[in-house]
Amino acid sequence: MTHSRRKTNVSFDAPAEYRIVVKGRIDDLWAESLGGLHIRFQSHGGEDGVTTLSGQIKDQTELIGVLYSVYELHLPILLVELAPK
């Protein structure tokens, strides 16, 4: 089996813009605990809706911390995306 690797300029120890989407609602009061990310909730009719967290994360360690915080809220993570430059 052959694996193709796409080259990216992502570094473990450099800031980057991320977008994280979770199922459910995260209140704006969590912004500081989530690294100061911008929090936007969108409801889709009768569904639970989704929350999008976006902004700069200083490094991969902080990214893992944010993801762990979402995990502790018992919300399913739908997407983690490095914002294109």
Q: Residue 44's pLDDT band (boundaries 50, 70, 90)?
A: confident
Tell whether 63 is covered by a domain. Answer: yes
Size (the chain), residues: 85
How much is the average pLDDT of 35-58? 89
Please write down the HEC assignment for all residues of 13-68: CCCEEEEEEEECCCCHHHCCCCCCCEEEEECCCCCCCEEEEEEEECCHHHHHHHHH
Tell whether 38 is covered by a domain. Answer: yes
Tell whether 83 is covered by a domain. Answer: no
Tell whether 70 is covered by a domain. Answer: yes
Task: Tell whether the model's pLDDT for residue 2 goes beyond 60.
Answer: no
Tell whether 9 is covered by a domain. Answer: no
- What range defines the domain where residue 26 resides? 21-76
Q: Nearest to residue 34, comparing CAs of 70, 6, 5?
A: 70
What's the number of domains the chain is made of? 1
Percent of the chain with pLDDT over 70: 84
Q: Residue 17 forms beta bridges with which residues?
A: 56
Tell whether 28 is covered by a domain. Answer: yes
Q: What is the pLDDT of residues 50-76, one digit of tens each?
A: 999 999 999 999 999 999 999 999 999
Give dist(CA 15, CA 32) in Å, integer.
Answer: 17
How much is the average pLDDT of 3-9? 58
Tell whether 11 is covered by a domain. Answer: no
